[in-house]
Amino acid sequence: MNSNDRAITERAAQLMVDASLFMQTVSGLIVDNLVEQEDGEGRPFMTGFRVDGLMRGLALVSDALSDRGEWLSLTVKQEEQREEEENKAALARRSGKKTLVGTNAGEQS
């Protein structure tokens, strides 16, 4: 994995940590509000407008996590394919086959 991919992966990991904290906070707020709402003497502290805003925030976080997950999956597959090609080329070189035919390096060897 190159340094650019590593940096993007680290940012994706931080996004996941931050998203988890956000989702736990929203969940706790909604549960607390529902408990207050159901209690006869309770005082709900969130309006429908605020709950809607939190739900929209959850949707944004969900979309970002989905996008990052797809990117990470693609990156891992590409890295696996690259490693497989490198391994095949190394095996071919060990077997004495010319793998650089038609290239400048192949013409010089």
* Tokens 């992966």 found at: 9
Structure tokens that stand for 18 in this block: 């931050």
* Tokens 């949707």 found at: 59
pLDDT tens string for the chain (109 positions)? 678 878 888 888 888 899 999 999 999 999 999 999 888 787 889 898 999 999 999 999 999 889 888 888 888 898 899 999 999 988 888 887 555 555 665 555 5
Please, are residues 99 and 93 in contact by the beta-carbon 8 Å criterion? yes
- pLDDT for residue 103: 61
Cβ-based neighbour number of residue 73 at 10 Å: 10
* Tokens 């925030």 found at: 57
3-state DSSP assignment of residue 97: coil
